[in-house]
Structure 1
Amino acid sequence: MKAEELNQEYVLGILEKLLAVPSPSGFFGPIMKLVEEEAAKLGLACERLPKGSALIKLPGRSDEALGMSAHVDTLGAMVRSVKENGRLRFTPVGGYSMHSVEGEYCTIHTRDGRTYSGTIQSTRPSVHVFPDARDLKREEANMEIRLDESAANRADVAALGIRTGDYVSFDPRTVFLPNGWIKSRHLDDKAGVACLFGLLESYVRREVVPPRTLYVFLSVYEEVGHGSSYMPPELRELLAIDMGAIGDDLSCTERDVSICAKDSSGPYDYEMTSKLIRLAERDGLGFAVDIYPYYSSDATAAVRAGSNLRAALLGPGVQASHGMERTHRDALWNTIRLLDAYATEEARD
């Protein structure tokens, strides 16, 4: 695929839509409605699986199948308890450090469909009041949510319908800059999902029929470790699309597609990873090969659950993962073009 064959406006548009819909792990109703609607616009079948995930199928020239996965679920929180002062204690959904959400605006989603605005703070939020405000350890016991309601005690909060187990989503604060930078929470992994929709849109619009049937699997529990624990048994290869980490000892940048050779679960398939590297070099893509010792993916969940398949991992470079994340649209284009190269190479050879 040439860069000019990409519908860049479509990719950025679907990314903006995805980022705007709250979807902490397990709270997937609204985001999956968007996924189903988008698949229908492309004329593609979208099957909802019992666990909540979606499976989109694009027929190929043969019944042999290639899987591609990404996750629509994000980091978030859940109400752990209501405090006597009307503040909410919360428990994390997904793995993030508490300092990364301090001061964040959030939304509480009640089980009966109501939503309330709030702010995540430490229990000592003001340096003008608390002498230990700067030094207080940012851990779960020292964090709380201040509701933007007249709620001074537990009874006030109960009257709002808020209770233990209600989900909390974080304000994504999405910004698309004219120079190509994209900053937002939850680029992990909604940027990857947008790349997959960009690939599908390109194939449908240009009437491309890939050599193998494509199964695009969108999971809803990746951030808690079991997103793609089920994979269709006909799959022999799986490409997991997730954000590429950036930092010390890593070569990936925010403009690259990252190819992960090994993460905390061990090495990814040698032949698939080598093929991705070869194709990225052949097409002159901006890419990096890295090792992520504190990372796992949907491919990890699939293999550990017993799926009999080979797996590789790639995705757009994202700085400050599980925090205030940033990428560049070049990383999206490089990711989509590498996915296309892998899916269609047999037709080119």
Structure 2
Amino acid sequence: MAYSWNEQETLAILEELVTTPSPSGYTMQVMKKIEKYFDQIQVPYITTNKGGVIATIKGQDDERHRLLTAHVDTLGAMVKEIKPSGRLKLSLVGGFKFNAIEGENCLIHTSTGAAISGTILLHQTTVHVYRDSGTAERTADNMEVRLDMKCDSAEQVRAQGIEVGDFISFDPRFTKTESGFVKSRHLDDKASTALVLELAKHFSGSDTLPHTTHFYISNNEEIGYGGNSNIPAKTEEYIAVDMGAIGDGQASDEYTVSICAKDSSGPYHYGLTRHLIALAKKQDIDYKVDIYPYYGSDASAAIGAGADVKHALFGPGIEASHAYERTHVDSLKATAELLHAYASSPIGS
């Protein structure tokens, strides 16, 4: 089946995903949108007890399966404490630093369904009052949420329905520049999720997949256990479609697809990784091979949970991961092309 990546449609899906709050542990709304998408393209799916969605398109070979996963949960926070001043202390959800969210607008999601806005700030932000506003360490003790409501006591905050344990999501600030850059929080891993959904749409209603293929949208990856269970028994190959890490000493960039040979969990499957590289070379897809030093994926989590699969990882290069992230449409396109090339190839080729 001829393949032409639909940039406009992918970016529309991506924008909808990143503007739907979904910190790990609070992903109900975004998962409903994932289910709706698979309903629209008429691809059957199951929903796991953990809330993940596994859609399946039957292939010409229904005995040897492969699985593609991307995660739609994101970084976030929870209310740790309501301070006497009416401001909130935070407990972080996911692996990032407080400096990455300083000055960011946010929403507090109450148990009643309300979303109350605020801003995450250092307590000593006012330079006209605090001498250490520039030097104070950004920690859980001195970072807080300033609520957009009239309140100067914990009682007033609680009267609005806010309590300890409520989830906090961050403003994604999604934008696409004329030069082709996409800037937003949560491109990790909603950029890959949009690409996987587009691939499923491309193959829906066809009989061209060489193998039955599962599209696993997980919702707990940022806290370590997104796609480590419910793997269909006939699955031989497990691909995590997740971000490429960019920085000093890294090969990955914002313009190519990044193929990970090793991360903090250890090497990925040699044969499957070489297969991806061979496909990229054969199809003239711009790619880089890289090692991510402080990284884990749903594929490595599946291996850690005892899954007997060949595992690999690739995805778009994402600059400033776990902060205000950026990639380029060239990287999204290269990832989409490698996804199609892989899904169209026979296992063991």
TM-score range, shorter chain: over 0.9
For 1:81, the equivalent position in structure 2 comes to 81
For 1:172, the equivalent position in structure 2 comes to 172
For 1:98, the equivalent position in structure 2 comes to 98
Q: 1:324 aligned to 2:324?
A: yes
Deviation at 1:232, TM superposition (A): 2.2
For 1:211, the equivalent position in structure 2 comes to 210
For 2:25, the equivalent position in structure 1 comes to 26
For 2:340, the equivalent position in structure 1 comes to 340
For 1:199, the equivalent position in structure 2 comes to 199
For 1:6, the equivalent position in structure 2 comes to 5
The alignment partner of 2:13 has SS state of helix
Superposed CA deviations along residues 230-280 of structure 1, whole A, max 9, x for unmatched, are 022221110000000111111111011100000000000000000001111
Give the number of the structure whose residues are more often helix, by fraction: 1
Q: 1:126 aligned to 2:126?
A: yes
**Number of aligned positions between the proteins:** 346
Q: 1:313 aligned to 2:313?
A: yes
In the alignment, the residues of structure 1 paired with residue 69 and residue 345 of structure 2 have an alpha-carbon distance, to the nearest angstrom, of 19
Deviation at 1:215, TM superposition (A): 0.4
For 1:260, the equivalent position in structure 2 comes to 260
- 8 Å CA contact retained: 1:192, 1:316: yes
- 8 Å CA contact retained: 2:60, 2:207: no
The alignment partner of 2:346 has SS state of helix
Superposed CA deviations along residues 28-54 of structure 1, whole A, max 9, x for unmatched, are 111011101111111111211111100
The alignment partner of 1:301 has SS state of helix
For 1:297, the equivalent position in structure 2 comes to 297
In the alignment, the residues of structure 1 paired with residue 207 and residue 44 of structure 2 have an alpha-carbon distance, to the nearest angstrom, of 16
Q: TM-score, normalized by length of structure 1?
A: 0.97
The alignment partner of 2:204 has SS state of helix
For 1:151, the equivalent position in structure 2 comes to 151
- 8 Å CA contact retained: 2:241, 2:313: yes
Could you list the runs of 5+ residues in structure 1 that have no partner in the other structure?
none
State the identity as a percent. 44
Could you say what the CA RMSD is over the residues aligned between the two structures, in angstroms?
A: 1.3
In the alignment, the residues of structure 1 paired with residue 207 and residue 320 of structure 2 have an alpha-carbon distance, to the nearest angstrom, of 36
- 8 Å CA contact retained: 1:78, 1:167: yes
The alignment partner of 2:66 has SS state of strand
Q: Which amino acid aligns with 2:317?
A: G
Superposed CA deviations along residues 145-168 of structure 1, whole A, max 9, x for unmatched, are 000011110100110110000000
In the alignment, the residues of structure 2 paired with residue 235 and residue 112 of structure 1 have an alpha-carbon distance, to the nearest angstrom, of 41
Could you list the runs of 5+ residues in structure 2 that have no partner in the other structure?
none
Q: 1:37 aligned to 2:36?
A: yes
The alignment partner of 2:289 has SS state of strand
Q: TM-score, normalized by length of structure 2?
A: 0.97
- 8 Å CA contact retained: 1:7, 1:202: no
Q: 1:53 aligned to 2:52?
A: yes
The alignment partner of 2:271 has SS state of helix
